[in-house]
Amino acid sequence: MEFVEVREGLARILVPKAERIYDAPVFYNPVMKLNRDISTLAVRVLGVKSVIDALSATGVRGIRYALETQAEEVWLNDINEDAFRLIVENVKRNTKTEPELTGRMAEFRGARKITVTNDDANRVMANNFRHFEFVDLDPFGSPMEFLDTALRSVRRRGVLAVTATDTGVLCGAYKHACRRKYLAEPVRGELCHEAGLRILVGAVVRYAAKYDLGVDVLLAYYRDHYFRAFLRLKSGAKKADDTLRRLGYMWQEENGKFEYNEDFLPRRPGAYGPLWLGPLKDQEFVGALLTAAENSHLGDPRKTPEFLRLLAEELDVPFFHDTHALARRNGLQVGKLTRIIEELRNMGYRATRTHFSPTALKTDAPFEDVMDALRELQ
Ligand SMILES: C[S@@+](CC[C@H](N)C(=O)[O-])C[C@H]1O[C@@H](n2cnc3c(N)ncnc32)[C@H](O)[C@@H]1O
């Protein structure tokens, strides 16, 4: 294997040289710098002491947790043997320490304890029951096959971070796959990304509920064709019941109008879901991430703070109005987004841009008033 050195945050890591990232024997995706930036900031602002990056590839994520946060114990794992060897090499370079090697495990006992294993993620997590304050699942595709063990490996008041890159499935391009993996009916069209994110969070909520665990969403977002959620667990049957109450269904009409209902069962046909209909962010947490981002050595210093600012400013209500889709659906001209937002604010409503789409807005105005604002600006 030939390698090149890349810098990301405080880490300097070797990654395989390859024409295309999916051809590389060990996976490294520079587009995910923003994902790793936000995750590293999250581990930092939450004051996490123990963390597992269960699917590590080059190890960049776990190494950044070790270098850029206060975590005292960091566990990295990958089933692929090439990945394991590369992670060990990358940890050595970044910590200037030598590991104790036993079979398919390497333990570094420097300023912090770093463990690297070459095993199935489910086995590693199962062997570490209720151990980690922060469990990170960053797989290829869907995280669902790792979810049960992750919920058993994380502490009962810990944080679970999940990435899903199976956007086609969650956005309704493969409806049957969405039913199989997430037991949910996906939405197609302009709302598919927010609906996909809400299906993902809803699935985690249902899995957590069987362990009598409730969930608070610290932050859930969509970006660069993946979904990411940071979920704080809460221990107790009542907390699980309260969380489950925030699941529900949505409906959408031809003209683009949507409705949703926080109800355990769909009340009428044509329903999409179940979906998480609670908040997608904890404002204080996002504010803390933003402050930390402004004082950090980031992997993507241009995009990460800007994205966090957009998230911080976004109105947190279910679903949005995409001006292009509404214009198309209703035979109107597309107006300027900022002017429509202004118009809605003048009408006394709250309205903001949304990270889900550059042509959409979130508002507490009813659909009819959004349409009035659109028509007003024809
Ligand atoms: C998307 S990559 C991880 C990227 C990494 N988290 C990052 O931020 O750069 C997914 C990794 O999961 C590994 N993997 C796949 N199935 C696994 C399993 N059952 N147990 C452990 N690792 C697995 C693959 O070898 C691959 O390296």
CB-facing half-sphere around the CA of 20: CA atoms within 13 A: 2
Is 61 a pocket residue for ligand 1 (Cβ < 6 Å)?
Answer: yes
Q: What is the pLDDT, as a whole number, of residue 29? A: 96
For the residues 278-300, what does the mean pLDDT come to? 97
Same domain, 135 and 248: yes
Q: What is the pLDDT, as a whole number, of residue 347? A: 97
Question: Which of 76, 86, 136, 140, when mutated, tests ligand 1's pocket best, judged by the most ligand atoms within 8 Å of its CB?
Answer: 140
Same domain, 284 and 344: no
Q: Of the ranges 76-85, 194-203, 257-266, which one carries the lowest mean pLDDT score?
A: 257-266
Question: Which of 79, 118, 144, 228, when mutated, tests ligand 1's pocket best, judged by the most ligand atoms within 8 Å of its CB?
Answer: 79
What is the residue range of 167's domain?
3-306
Report CA(299)–ligand 1 centroid distance (Å): 20
> How does DSSP assign 233-272, residue by residue?
EEESHHHHHHHHTTEEEEEE-TTS-EEEE--SS-SSSS-E
Question: Which of 51, 56, 117, when mutated, tests ligand 1's pocket best, judged by the most ligand atoms within 8 Å of its CB?
Answer: 56
Whether residue 221 is contained in a domain is answered as: yes
pLDDT at 19 over 90: no
Q: What is the CATH number of the domain that holds 357?
A: 3.30.56.70
What's the mean pLDDT when you consider all of the chain? 97
Whether residue 314 is contained in a domain is answered as: no
Q: Kindly report the protein residue whose alpha carbon is nearest to atom 19 of ligand 1.
A: 120
Same domain, 195 and 286: yes
Report CA(166)–ligand 1 centroid distance (Å): 14
Q: What is the pLDDT, as a whole number, of residue 320? A: 98
Same domain, 135 and 256: yes
Enter the DSSP assignment of 305: H
Same domain, 248 and 127: yes
Q: How far apart are CA 267 and CA 43, in angstroms?
A: 40
- Predicted confidence band of residue 51 (pLDDT cuts 50, 70, 90): very high
Q: What SS3 class is residue 353? A: strand
> How does DSSP assign 25-71, residue by residue?
SS---GGGHHHHHHHHHHHHHTT-SEEEESS-TTSHHHHHHHHHS--
- Predicted confidence band of residue 378 (pLDDT cuts 50, 70, 90): confident
- pLDDT tens digits, residue range 58-71? 999 999 999 999 99
Question: Which of 23, 27, 163, when mutated, tests ligand 1's pocket best, judged by the most ligand atoms within 8 Å of its CB?
Answer: 27
Report CA(140)–ligand 1 centroid distance (Å): 7
How much of the chain, in percent, has pLDDT values that exceed 70?
Answer: 100
Q: How far apart are CA 166 and CA 130, in angstroms?
A: 28
Whether residue 315 is contained in a domain is answered as: no
Q: Domain boundary at 283, 306, 329, which?
A: 306
Is 56 a pocket residue for ligand 1 (Cβ < 6 Å)?
Answer: yes
Q: What is the pLDDT, as a whole number, of residue 264? A: 83
pLDDT at 4 over 90: yes
- Predicted confidence band of residue 217 (pLDDT cuts 50, 70, 90): very high
Whether residue 144 is contained in a domain is answered as: yes
Q: What is the pLDDT, as a whole number, of residue 21? A: 87
Q: How far apart are CA 192 and CA 100, in angstroms?
A: 48
Same domain, 131 and 64: yes
- pLDDT tens digits, residue range 114-146? 999 999 999 999 999 999 999 999 999 999 999
Same domain, 266 and 135: yes
CB crowding 316-343: b at 16 or more within 10 Å, else e? bebbbbbbebbbebeeeebbebeebbeb
Q: What is the pLDDT, as a whole number, of residue 97? A: 96
Same domain, 284 and 337: no
Whether residue 312 is contained in a domain is answered as: no
Enter the DSSP assignment of 283: H
How much of the chain, in percent, has pLDDT values that exceed 90?
Answer: 95
Q: Of the ranges 16-30, 214-228, 286-300, 358-372, which one carries the lowest mean pLDDT score?
A: 16-30
Same domain, 358 and 277: no
Contacts of 9 (CB under 8 A, 6+ apart): 36, 37, 40, 64, 67, 68, 296, 297, 298, 299
Same domain, 330 and 241: no
Q: Which of 322, 319, 206 is nearest to 255 (CA)?
A: 322
- Predicted confidence band of residue 265 (pLDDT cuts 50, 70, 90): confident
Q: What is the pLDDT, as a whole number, of residue 1? A: 82
Report CA(376)–ligand 1 centroid distance (Å): 51
Whether residue 130 is contained in a domain is answered as: yes
Same domain, 122 and 271: yes
Whether residue 313 is contained in a domain is answered as: no
Same domain, 158 and 203: yes
Q: Domain boundary at 278, 306, 334, which?
A: 306
pLDDT at 3 over 90: yes
Q: What is the CATH number of the domain that holds 230?
A: 3.40.50.150
Q: Domain boundary at 273, 306, 339, which?
A: 306
- pLDDT tens digits, residue range 328-353? 999 999 999 999 999 999 999 999 99
Report CA(63)–ligand 1 centroid distance (Å): 15
Report CA(127)–ligand 1 centroid distance (Å): 18
Is 39 a pocket residue for ligand 1 (Cβ < 6 Å)?
Answer: no
Query: What is the β-pairing status of strands 321-322 and 357-363?
Result: antiparallel
Is 146 a pocket residue for ligand 1 (Cβ < 6 Å)?
Answer: no
Q: Kindly report the protein residue whose alpha carbon is nearest to atom 10 of ligand 1.
A: 139
Q: Which of 42, 85, 33 is nearest to 60 (CA)?
A: 33
Q: What is the pLDDT, as a whole number, of residue 22? A: 85
pLDDT at 267 over 90: no
CB-facing half-sphere around the CA of 120: CA atoms within 13 A: 7
Is 79 a pocket residue for ligand 1 (Cβ < 6 Å)?
Answer: yes
Say if residues 57 and 46 touch (Cβ distance below 8 Å): no
CB-facing half-sphere around the CA of 352: CA atoms within 13 A: 14
Domain count, the chain: 2
Is 377 a pocket residue for ligand 1 (Cβ < 6 Å)?
Answer: no
The model scores a pTM over 0.85: yes
Q: Kindly report the protein residue whose alpha carbon is nearest to atom 26 of ligand 1.
A: 57
Whether residue 311 is contained in a domain is answered as: no
